Amino acid sequence: MATDDLVLSAKPILERFGLAGRTAVVTGGGQGIGRAYAHALGEAGAAVAVADISIKTATVVAEELRAKHIDAIAIQVDVTDAAQVAAMVDTVVAQWGHLTIAVNNAGIGQWIAAEELPEADWDRMMNINLKGVFLCCQAAARAMLPAGYGKIINMASMSGHISNTPQNQAHYNASKAGVIHLTRSLAAEWAPRGVRVNSISAGYTRTQLVDDLLQKPMGKEILPQWMGLTPMKRMGEVTDLQGAVVYLAAEASDFMTGNDLIIDGGYCAW
């Protein structure tokens, strides 16, 4: 049998995108992109733990998943608290016996001139967007490494690659650049033991977080400028990101690690 025949004797491609038998936890899963990820992973066959600092919103999303006959639970977690993050992973393992997929999506945004930025705001941004991602990666890996397999997916941003305009958000950009390089670093460290670590960098995507920022006085001026810099001339929808998270969670991406998928309507192409 030729080598090509051996390769093509693998499972059919759509089966390699399926997540049956896998378990996932999604932080920041109570709204926006996290909610969309939770639905996508569940629809692809995974059992899903919806984790959020708000147990109310996490519970609503878990109920949405169960209405689709998806096995789901809600967990309250503050991703900046190592003990709470460890307990989150322990809850998943106690519920389903293992953790296969960890989507570290919880994060915040803020617009403020760098020279006016209070130190406390810098610390809060880094604690949630970067330290929180690390703590979740660490806790997930402690469950995945002994099993010899796992998928960790971190939520970065195109803001980790470029400096946004016209809004000022140096601390946010720095936090997301940190997520991208943290992802590469952990991927290299854990690859020999079967744990893949990748990230997704979204462009301007329609969520409540973005809508809240656009309500600021300069918001009406900013949106046309964003679209003028985006080749596709539209904002992304959360559904535009779902295919990427399923791919990174599935067997289909088993030879991929340390990478960042930019889904931005072409913004970074210019």
List active site positions: 172
Name the residue among 38, 68, 10, 67 with its Cα closest to residue 245: 38
